Structure 1
Amino acid sequence: MSVFKSTDGTTINYEVSGSGEPLIMIHGINGNMRMFDIVKEQLADKYQIITYDVRGHGQSDRPLNFTIDDHIDDCLDLISYLELDKAHLLGYSMGAYIALGLAVRYPRKVDRLILVGGKAHTTVSSFARLMMQHRDEVKDKPKKEVTQLLSRYIFYNKEKVDGWQKTIDDYSEMDANEEAVAARGIIGFDYRNSLTKLPHQTLLIAGRHDQLNPPIESQYMAELIPNSKFIEFEYSGHAPLAEEPKRFAEEIQLFLDRQ
């Protein structure tokens, strides 16, 4: 693993493996680069895989405040630091918001775009919205129990997700304050008016059983992005990369190999 300093001086931890066209993978909220370990080896045979801990997560610096604009700038800084003309971007959940934001603002830095479990805008966090939908179930429950209760609406194959989550937590965990800062950092973006102008070949992936960012969010984007394809994973919730990892890697390879 290596580090670089973003434009505002934040230390960002990153890792490069494999060789070929660069593919930057951006992880989800409260996670870290280890989220992609489950599929990285399959993809590193053909691509230079670049993963990193976004600010506030993993082994990167954890500022007291940051926004999605900071996340976008960090990814742009990483592309510049590695002296890449452009790169394929794969964003998962929060990472999809960051990847989409970068593609909208700096389209020439992005080759092909892969958005997994994402959406085009938000006014409240997806988890807060899910809590409101199931408020009678989670009322007066401690946060850990709330998370466990709501996981049935987020994931389909809980056993696979639990093993995946342990790998992530063993690498780095976040406390409640850090999670709150991270959640505030991705509120209030809206890229809906830019979707029809995206020039990139775009793949959108969602799990059929995902109630955190339901498939309809990805379908909506696919209908507006001119050169896009939507795939729904039948046996997945919010984490198709962990719930159906073999198919996930295969679909990514097929998309990136397509002429």
Structure 2
Amino acid sequence: MKIGGIKLNVEESGVGQPLVMLHGLTGNIESMRAEIDFFGRSFRVIALDSRGHGRSDKPAAYTLQDHIEDVLGVLDALALPSVFLMGSSMGSYVAQGVAAQQPARVSKLVLITPKASGQTSSSARLLAQHAAELEGKSPPEVQAFLMAKIFAPTTSGVVKASLAEFAQQQAEAGLTLTPEQTLAANRALEGFDFRPALPGVTAQTLLVSGRHDPLNPPAEGEVIAQLIPNARLEVLEHSGHVPNLEEPERLHRLILDFLLS
């Protein structure tokens, strides 16, 4: 789709109530494949590669507001007056912006591993905290370090290996972001704060945090839950920042029950 002057890769599957799905930083539609398949049995799933990611255009610079306007542009192009909206990590920031700026467009909101504000992306903050030990490391080594940090202590080696395998598949498919593209993606998340606007969100809202998430811990979800009227926070006790891999059945059931209620 041509939205806001750039091409966005958008995928649709299933029928029924529209459910728009937004991925995390440096992710893409493929990182949501299990969720697309699962929720596509019950809803009309609309998933998109955010600008700068996946198979969408990759401008040299863009902002979080651009991400928000891209989603609204997709809703307009598909003539969708109101949707269910689900976002993970960076996708949860975009989803908050959409629901806060145009409340009538979102009837149910799902925010997975969210935060409401930040001076940098959460991954950039974590890497900055470990700058000394990462000095001189190559981009793949830095990425491997980050991937090792985001799981719960009890997460199995099989799950961790699945993420490493996915990263290899992304590289082979040409979907891994270059260092310059990664920098642009991180810069888009600098200095945002939705907290003043969240009380105006009218969507029924479910938040899901991982107990051991070092990037967006449950305290960040609690902030949002206190600001959005009647929002509910669920904490997954055996998850870090990737509950879709660490506790997929629990995550999917929580979200499905909420969306069908």
Q: Which residue of 1 aligns with 2:70?
A: 74
CA distance in 2: counterparts of 1:210 and 1:234, whole angstroms: 10
- 2:250 corresponds in structure 1 to 247
SS at match of 2:197: helix
Separation (CA, whole Å) in 2 of partners of 1:215 and 1:256: 21
Distance verdict in 2 for CA 1:78–1:231, change over 3 Å:
same
Moved more, 249-258 or 134-143: 134-143
Aligned with residue 83 of structure 2, among 87, 92, 98: 87
Note if contact 1:12-1:55 (Cα within 8 Å) is conserved in structure 2.
yes
Counterpart check, 1:147 vs 2:143: yes
Give the drift of 1:167: 4.9
Q: CA deviation at 1:143?
A: 3.0
One-letter amino acid of the counterpart of residue 225, structure 2 = A
Matched AA of 2:164: D
Aligned sequence identity (%): 39
Give the equivalent residue in structure 1 for 2:53.
Answer: 57
Matched residue, 1:111: 107
Please report how far the alpha carbon of residue 179 of structure 1 lies from its aligned counterpart in structure 2 after TM superposition: 0.6
Matched, 1:161 2:133: no
Match for residue 238 of structure 1 among 236, 241, 254: 241
User: Does the 8 Å CA contact 2:96/2:198 hold for their aligned counterparts?
Assistant: no
Following superposition, the deviation at residue 237 of structure 1 comes to 1.1
User: AA paired with 2:178?
Assistant: D
The equivalent of 1:183 in structure 2 is: 186
How far residue 170 of structure 1 moved from its aligned partner, in angstroms, is 4.7
User: Cα offset for 1:102?
Assistant: 0.6
Contact 1:34 1:167 in 2 (8 A): no
Give, in angstroms, the shift of residue 164 of structure 1.
Answer: 4.2
CA distance in 2, matches of 1:170, 1:19: 32
Deviations 1:158-205 (A, max 9, x none): 234334444544542211111111111121211111222221111111
User: Is 1:19 paired with 2:15?
Assistant: yes
Gapped regions of structure 1 (runs ≥ 5): none
Residues 153 and 209 of structure 1 are in contact (CA less than 8 Å); yes or no, is this contact kept in structure 2? no
Aligned to 2:177: 174
Going from structure 1 to structure 2, the CA distance change for 1:92 and 1:216 (only over 3 Å counts) comes to same
CA distance, structure 2, for counterparts of residue 121 and residue 148 of structure 1: 26
Cα RMSD of the aligned pairs, angstroms, is 1.6
Tell me which amino acid in the other structure corresponds to 2:188: G
Aligned-partner Cα distance in 1 for 2:83–2:168: 30
1:164 to 1:227, Cα distance in 2 relative to 1, 3 A: farther
With normalisation by structure 1, the TM-score equals 0.92
| SS of residue paired to 2:192 | coil
Match of 1:128 among 124, 127, 135: 124
2:18 is paired with a residue whose SS is: strand
Cα shift readout 1:220-243 (whole Å, capped 9, x = no counterpart)? 111221111111112211111122
Supply the distance in 2 between the matched residues of 1:200 and 1:113 (Cα, whole angstroms).
Answer: 6
Q: How many residues were matched structurally? A: 254
Distance in 1, Cα, partners of 2:239 & 2:198: 26
- Name 1:229's counterpart in structure 2: 232
* Separation in structure 2 between the aligned mates of residue 244 and residue 168 of structure 1, nearest angstrom: 22
2:204 to 201, 206, 209: 201
Alignment CA distance shift 1:228-1:167 (3 Å): farther
Q: 2:93 matched to which residue of 1?
A: 97
Quickly say closer, same or farther: Cα 1:252–1:169, change in 2 above 3 A.
farther
Q: 1:183 to 1:128 in 2, by over 3 A?
A: same
Q: Are residues 161 and 128 of structure 1, via their aligned partners in 2, closer, same or farther at CA, if it must alter by over 3 Å?
A: same
Structure 2: give runs of 5+ residues left out of the alignment: none
Name which of structure 1's ranges 118-127 and 174-183 shifts more when overlaid on structure 2.
Answer: 118-127
Distance 1:163 1:186, change over 3 A: same
